[in-house]
Structure 1
Amino acid sequence: MAKEKSAKKKDDWTKTLTRVFVVIILISCVLGFSLTLGFFSIFKSAADGSGIVVSYTIRDDSGVAVLSSDDTVIQNEVLIAGASQPLQMVIGQNYTDFIVPIEVYMYPNGWNTYAFFEPELTTIADEAKGMHEGDAKTVLFPFGETMTREMTAEQYGLIGGNYSETAVGMWIPLGFAPQPEVVLDNETAPETVATRMSKIIAKDNNTLTVQYGYASADITINQLI
């Protein structure tokens, strides 16, 4: 009888060990599968149709940071426009409007609608092809230097500016309608107007030349979706 009980206990113990072993094997398989997926995700690169989350810093032709979602830049550089969340986009997507509004925190006014341009977003997406998560690069906007507008002293006054106080190198806010179109007075302003910081690059007795295009973007791929 004692032998039967001993044999039964041994059999129960063997079954318990077998269950524990099976559980350990299953956990190992799950962990191994997850690690394998993580390992192979290193080699995944952005391509047409890829969803990407991009941290960025927009700069002018002198390297000044205009707009950024990069925490390091936000903490250590003076931003002309403000800070925003990283961009989320799909490589190859088509934008129906030239102006693509995003939300930007502009001190001291708080959150505002900011004018991003379709060529800027398209260039960032195109240049992201082949990049992996964590990769970083500088993307050039060669079209930025052509994005200028002349404004008379009267027109500048219509948007609340004081012409006598302006100087080359100053940044001023301009309002852009979706067409795009610089909004010069409240009477013709459409319902949707996005702000964009623009730099005065020339001035004479009655005319300002304002550049609203930017030179480049420093980008980092935060995530591939």
Structure 2
Amino acid sequence: MNKKKTSGQKGKKTSWNSTKILMVVFGVGFVIFMILSSLGMGWLAGLRPASAGDSVMIDYTIQDNQGMPVLTSNPRIFNATLDQGRLCILTNYLIVPVNSTSGSVVYTFPDATGTAQVGIFSSEYNSLASAIAGMKDGETKVVSFPDKDGLSWNMTIENFQSIGGNYTTARVGDEVLMNFAKNPEINVDDTQPTPDNYYYRIGYIKEKTADGVIIDFGYSQIQLDVLRINNR
């Protein structure tokens, strides 16, 4: 009786054992640890939401009640707005402490050139400072301002033209660069104005009457992007 030939090859036994597996896991873990160590602790901050004691750097754009950008730290938005023939002021990024409040009626900060001051009201600043609580690096949010309505100024023809306006050609919707004294109760020598005496806001003509114009200088909302969270 013939016997069938069997293959001389035998199944290979795995050379892996628990010791080798542990060594590989340890090696991979060590590499990951070294990568994270090289990044410092910043990557952990990006995972943690902003809270009291933190200051947050934001890229932002503020819009008026027409929905047009009037203040921004984004050069692309600034240039696009100017290309449309609209007014807009460019500033640097803002650094805002979480849940802080403005100590005065107006919170002022310099424009991008450092030659002029712009201003947002305390209610606008406080809304921003409270909105960034709980946000993380890279997060975006749109925040409405509480006092966006009711901020208007009835200007006579003479007053309007004194700030550089042209009553004859003025139209509803036209934007106006307005400057305000920081301390209106103090008389400022107009012949020697300094950037620290005034701050600027952009308003627009809401209504044109036979006697003058009504300027709306309320801001409706802010779009903010968290760039970095710093632990103070």
Give the equivalent residue in structure 2 for 1:49. Answer: 53
Indicate the SS of the match to 1:224.
Answer: strand
Seen in structure 2, the aligned counterparts of structure 1 residues 206 and 120 have a Cα distance that, compared at 3 Å, is same
Tell me the CA shift for residue 105 of structure 1: 4.3
Alignment partner of 1:158 is 2:165: no
Tell me the CA shift for residue 205 of structure 1: 0.2
Alignment of 1:80-95 (within 5 A): 80-95=87-102
Structure 1: any 5+ residue segments left out of the alignment? 1-24
Seen in structure 2, the aligned counterparts of structure 1 residues 149 and 89 have a Cα distance that, compared at 3 Å, is same
Indicate the SS of the match to 1:215.
Answer: strand
Q: Render the CA deviation track for 1:130-159: whole Å, top value 9, x for unaligned.
A: 110100011111311221111111222333
With normalisation by structure 1, the TM-score equals 0.74
Give the equivalent residue in structure 2 for 1:67. Answer: 71
Percent sequence identity over aligned pairs: 23
Alignment partner of 1:135 is 2:139: yes
Tell me the CA shift for residue 48 of structure 1: 2.3
Distance (whole Å) between structure 2 residues aligned to residue 80 and residue 59 of structure 1? 11
CA contact (8 A) 2:140 2:224 kept: yes
- 2:198 maps to which of 193, 197, 213: 193
CA contact (8 A) 2:99 2:133 kept: no
- 2:124 maps to which of 114, 120, 126: 120
Tell me the CA shift for residue 30 of structure 1: 5.0
Give the equivalent residue in structure 2 for 1:213. Answer: 218
Q: Render the CA deviation track for 1:50-77: whole Å, top value 9, x for unaligned.
A: 2000110111233211121124423544
Structure 2: any 5+ residue segments left out of the alignment? 1-28
Indicate the SS of the match to 1:116.
Answer: strand
Tell me the CA shift for residue 221 of structure 1: 0.5
CA contact (8 A) 2:124 2:146 kept: no
Seen in structure 2, the aligned counterparts of structure 1 residues 186 and 162 have a Cα distance that, compared at 3 Å, is farther
Paired positions, count:
196
Indicate the SS of the match to 2:214.
Answer: strand
Tell me the CA shift for residue 215 of structure 1: 0.8
Tell me the CA shift for residue 27 of structure 1: 8.8
Distance (whole Å) between structure 1 residues aligned to residue 32 and residue 112 of structure 2? 46
Q: Which has the higher helix share?
A: 1
